[in-house]
Structures are given as C-alpha cells and as structure tokens.
Amino acid sequence: MFGKILIANRGEIACRVIRTARKLGVRTVAVYSDADARALHVEMADEAAHIGPSPVGESYLRGDRIIAAALATGAEAIHPGYGFLSENPDFVDQVTAAGLVFIGPSAASIRAMGLKDAAKRLMEKAGVPVVPGYHGEAQEIVLLASKAREIGYPVLIKARAGGGGKGMRRVDHPDDFSEALSGARREAKAAFGDDRVLVEKYVDKPRHIEVQVFGDNFGNAVHLYERDCSAQRRHQKVIEEAPAPGMTPALRKAMTEAAVKAAKAINYSGAGTIEFIVDASAGLKADRFWFMEMNTRLQVEHPVTEMVTGVDLVEWQLRVASGEKLPKTQGEIALAGHAFEARIYAEDASKGFLPATGTLYHLQFPDAPPQGAAMRIETGVRAGDAISPFYDPMIAKLVVHAKDRTTALGALHDAFARTEVAGSTVNTAFLAALAADDDFAAGDVDTGLIGRHRDALVAVAAPSDEAIAAAALAATDAGAPGRAADPWSLLAGYAHFHTLVRRVRLRFGEENILARVSARPDGRFQVALEAPHDAINSHDLRTLPRTARWPGHVTVFEGAVGYAFAVPDPLAKADEAAAASGSLRAPMPGLVKLVRAAMGDPVIKGQPLLILEAMKMEHTIAAPHDGVIAEIATEGAQVSDGTVLVRFEEEGQS
C-alpha cells in the first residue's frame, strides 16, 4: 500500500478520497487554486500545495504543476478523482514518466474508450451491442445530414469526446440539423477541445442504466451491479439509484456480462462504468439495450453502488493501483437493499437550471437518518464557503439506503425536508418534487421524465402567511438564542403605556411586505401583516418554522423549500426604478460566445440575441420584449452575474 498520495482534484471527491486514505493509514496531499486556499479538502489533507490561479486552465488542468507538487511532497501516486484530468491519457503518460503511479486505468485503456465513435467500433468487435448510428471519421455537414436521414429522425448529435450532456443536441426535423450541429460543435470545442461528433438514433423512451465494473492488473474483472441514472435534466444526472427499478434477471445478466466483456476487451484496471441506453417503451428486455460509452474513472454516483454492495470503491482503487488483486471475486459481491443519491446544486431550477453563485451563510444537513435507513452526506463545503463561478456548483450529494425502494424513497424525502441552505439559490425544492413525482415514485423513469414534468417540478408555492410571519419575526432578531440584542430588536423590553411594536419591511420577489411585530407577556410574539395578508395569530417560538438570518436576508425553511426574503436597509436609497428597465443583464457569470444582433437592429420578443457560455454549457439569451438595440456585448467578453449584456433604445430615441 502507498505511504502518501496526492489528490489531483478538489471539493467533495477530494474529501471522499481523503477519508478512505486516512482509514488505510495513507497520508494525503491536497492541491488548491487561489479560490480554494481555505477549502475543506485543503483543511482535511495532511499537506497541501498551491498550483495556480482560480481558473481551471491555470490550476487543476495544469498537469505539470500537479506532478511537480507530487514529487516535491514525496507522494508515490496521484488519484485524479473525476473530471479535470481524470480521463486525460497524456496526463497518465506524464505521471508514469515521472516515476509516479496513476490511480486509475492505463493511458491505453483511456484512449480506447475516450472517443465515443472509436469506442463503439471497438465494442462492436467485442460483441457488445451498440446504438444504431454513424460513428465514422468524416465530419462534412452534407455527409452527417445524409446519415441522419438514413438513420431516421429524431436523431441525437453527440460530441465524440467527453460527456455530461455537453455538445449534445436532439434533432427532430432535417431543417433543424444544421443549426443543432453548429451548436453541438461549438459546445464540444469549448468543453473538450474537439468539435467532432457522431450521429445516433434517438430512442423514444430511453433509460440510462450503467454498470459499475472493476479490473486489476492480473486480468480479473468483475461487475458491482447496475445503477439507474435516467432522472436527468439537460443530459446531466440528478438523482441516481441502485438497483435499477424494474430490472429483470434476464436483462441484468445480459447487461452485466456485456459490461465485463467490455472491460476485458481493453484489459481494464481500476474503477470504470459502462453506460447503456435501454429502450423502455415495452418494458425492460434483454435485447433492447445498447452500449453508449465508458467512463474510465470513478463516477460521481459511486456511493449508491457502495451502499448496496458494502464495497469501498476508493479503497479498491488504492489497493489495485498499489499492485494487489481484486479484493473479492464475482461470487462474493452481493446486492442488498436500495439506495438513492441526489445532487444538491447551487442552481435555479425555475430558470432552466442556470448555475448560481453565492456564499453559503447557512448550511445544515440532517444529523441522523430516519429509523430503518442509512445516510451519507458527501460534501466539500462548509457554512461560510463561497460557490464561485470557476467550478461546478455542486454543494453536496445526499445518499440514503434502506431495505427496499419504498423505504429508501421515504428516507430521501425526510432528508430533503431537513436540509437547509441559505445564501445561494439551490435545487432542493426541485429534488423533493422529483422524488415525489408519481412516475418517479413508481419507478417509471426515463431520460425525458423531467422534461415532460418540468413545469410542475420547478413550480414552488408562494410562502404561506405563517412563513412570512416567521421571516418578519426573524428580521427583528427577537427570540434568537445567543444573539446580542439592542433596544430596537429586543421586543420584550419595557414600554410605559403600551406594548412595544416594531414595523418590519420585507421583500419577496417583486412583492413588498409590511409587518407589525409585538411581544406578549407569555413570551410569544404577535405578527400582523398588512393587506392583502390577514393578521397572523400569536406564534410560539418553539413551533416557528426554521429560519436563517444572513446579510440583508432571512430564509424560512418549510419542508425542502427555502423562502428567501430580502430585508431592505431603511437608510439605503432605493434606486430600483433606474435599474435598467431598458436593459438585459447576464443571469450568471460567463463568456459571451456568439452575438447575433448589432447596435441599431430592431428585434422582437423571444428573438435570440447572444449565446452565453457558463460551466461549459451554452445558454441562449433572448429579447424580453420588442425594441431597438442601443448597445450589445461583444463576442469574447467575460461577464459577471448582473452585467448589462444588451441595452435597448428608449421610446422616442433616435
């Protein structure tokens, strides 16, 4: 076993690797950028090395700096985590050339599976079923469009390098093929440095089911059963589970055998995942699944496999990379119970799942699972940490396990209801709505589920009067244990002729709220809301909804929903009327990738004006109303959240 390893990653996966390394007595070296100088993974590791500025291209993607840090600290091996350099065969070659061990597959295995088209040709030779489509080298638009017609619409254009939904477009009609191809190529080039694509038949009711495989350097390979990752938005996974609901013995046997066959075809060593697309239009059948791609690394969703098999996959990675054989044979790996993993992100589900930033002023996870269940919280952040625009906005992975799917789903609901995040927009309400969806609850999932039910899943009910009353009370700081009180906030203080009352102003979205808060002799508080709200009866502090106070805001938690109320500073000058009523602002930090209009152009509502790239995904910014463009951002501009992208001429302006 290694004495010391370096982890070439950040966030929750770095923390995850550190925990297993510590259990095995292996010392760890963390690497960090400027933005991560005080990050949790840096604090947890035995040592840490600075590798550059915040942008990933200047830090976490600098293989030379990472290798130099490993050599300088005496690390014997490098664990890549996932993302960044984890599937970069050139980096693997550089690691081994430096006399270090790469904790993962060989560069040859990564190259064999790194390009989707080549991988599918290899799988065809190995006897693994692949999706009908064009996987050739020629990339001329005329040829690709012709192949799409031969395959039959709808088709799916996919970047041949990478994954995560980047560089992927569904096309339903030949007239839309050219535009979709251009968008897929731009996105693929930005994300992977390779704009080549493949074209495949789009499966009408696709299930995304993947098999965890593991190999060693002695020719052994096993599977650790399947995971269902069909619950996706924008081709990115949201909630994963193991085993797959509705899985039949025949399909499991065929799929796991194909997965092991695929791993052995490339002499695979380490943790890997064989992803299959399954046609669920007529139920799960053993002849209706096809190889999609292989991820030659540890997956984000690996904890659900660990929960149902009792295997520590990171421990297996360290043991195999250090020269040991697989710890278990296929017959010794058993499947027990059911597990879910939900990805908690800083994102706005109601705005197309746009990434969000902000400081996590309040962050609280359930301290214990409900009876009959087990739970894991995988995170790389703490209260007070910032979600920056430089990296993936994942806050945590919430993982539950129970004896069966129904019990595990109940535990997931309970965990959502007890998770509290304030300071950034998060997706917990969306996750809870998805878990409660009738089709999802019944196990009737496919990759189009979220898209079909999107409006219902992202809708959040308006806060109740009780929630508003709680926000008003929290805004006074009254009753907050341990908080220093002043004469204005200590409502239970002395008043000579009448009860002391404080007026509180709140804002929720576009709504301004005025409340009157007063203390009662028995320790309760009376909160009255002005019209259109009714007066609220007395509230006992012990039964008030959970709240969190953070700069300029109060968040009230009701179930999985966090209602954020702004608490305006009465001394601040309101200038909202002048706040760009004739302008369009960036909804998130990003790069202006493409501009489709110019100064002086008349535009209509809904017309695409520019494309903003954020988190390696493209977002179309459209005109919110008819008008004439007075000013528009330039291509290549890096903008922050709230930057004016487009300014419209005022009426009468010439």
**Residue 497 pLDDT level (bands cut at 50, 70, 90):** very low
Q: Quick one: which of 365, 425, 433, 426 has its CA closest to 400?
A: 365
Mean pLDDT of 625-635: 92
The three-class DSSP label of residue 222 is strand
Neighbours of 416 (CB within 10 A): 24
Give the Cα separation of 360 and 38 in Å (integer): 14
Q: Is the pLDDT of residue 479 over 60?
A: no
CB atoms within 10 A of CB 173: 9
Higher-pLDDT residue of 160 and 13 is 13
Q: Helices 116-126 and 107-114 meet at what angle, rounded to 10?
A: 100
Reported as a single tens digit per residue, the pLDDT across 99-158 is: 999 999 999 999 999 887 788 889 988 899 998 888 888 999 999 999 999 999 999 999
In this predicted structure, the answer to whether residue 478 has a pLDDT above a threshold of 70 is no
Q: Which residue is it, tokens 């840490």?
A: 48
Provide the pLDDT for residue 197.
Answer: 93
Measured CA to CA, the distance from residue 618 to residue 602 in angstroms comes to: 24
Mean pLDDT, residues 542-565:
88
326 — pLDDT class (breaks 50, 70, 90): very high
* Averaged pLDDT for residues 225-235: 93
- pLDDT averaged over the chain? 89
| Per-residue pLDDT at 540 | 53
Give the pLDDT score at 578. Answer: 32
Residue 519 has pLDDT above 80, yes or no: no
Q: Report how far apart, in Å, the C-alpha atoms of 567 and of each of 479, 489, 532 are.
A: 17, 14, 19
Per residue in 49-71, pLDDT (tens digit) is 999 999 999 999 999 999 999 99
**Which of 131-145, 204-218, 263-277, 366-380 is the least confident region?**
131-145
**Pairing relationship of beta strands 590-595 and 617-622 according to DSSP bridges:** unpaired
Return the percentage of the chain with pLDDT > 90, whole number: 68
Type of residue found at 121: R
Token output for 559:
């179930």
Between CA 24 and CA 8 the distance in angstroms is 19
pTM: 0.81
pLDDT at 542: 47
Whether residue 579 has pLDDT greater than 70:
no
Residue 493 has pLDDT above 90, yes or no: no
Q: Are residues 555 and 419 in contact, defined by beta-carbon separation less than 8 angstroms?
A: no
**Is 297 marked active-site?**
yes
CA dihedral 355, 357, 360, 365 (to 10 degrees): 10
For residue 159, what pLDDT is reported? 92
What mean pLDDT do residues 631-650 have? 87
The mean pLDDT of 319-343, rounded to a whole number, is 98
- In this prediction, residue 615 has a pLDDT band, given cuts at 50, 70 and 90, of low
Predicted confidence at residue 489, as pLDDT, reads 44
Choice among 302-311, 321-330, 481-490, 562-571 with the minimum mean pLDDT: 481-490
Residue 476: its pLDDT value, please?
82
The predicted-structure confidence for 381-435, as pLDDT tens digits, reads as follows 999 999 988 899 999 999 999 999 999 999 999 999 999 999 999 999 999 999 9
Residue 290 — pLDDT band, cuts 50, 70, 90?
Answer: very high
Residue bearing the bigger pLDDT, 336 or 498 = 336
Region 68-82: mean pLDDT is 98
Distance CA 319, CA 100 (A): 15
568: confidence class by pLDDT, cuts 50, 70, 90: confident
Active-site residue, from 62, 297, 343, 549: 297
Q: Tell me, what's the pLDDT at 524?
A: 73
- Average pLDDT value for residue range 476-491: 45
What is the band of 580 on the pLDDT scale with cuts at 50, 70, 90? very low
Higher pLDDT, 373 or 116: 373
pLDDT tens digit string along 234-272? 888 999 999 999 999 999 999 999 999 999 999 999 999
Contact present, 109 and 243 (Cβ < 8 Å): no
Highest mean pLDDT among 214-218, 365-369, 650-654 belongs to 214-218
- Residue 527: which of 550, 506, 508 has the closest Cα? 506
**Is 572 a residue whose pLDDT tops 70?**
no
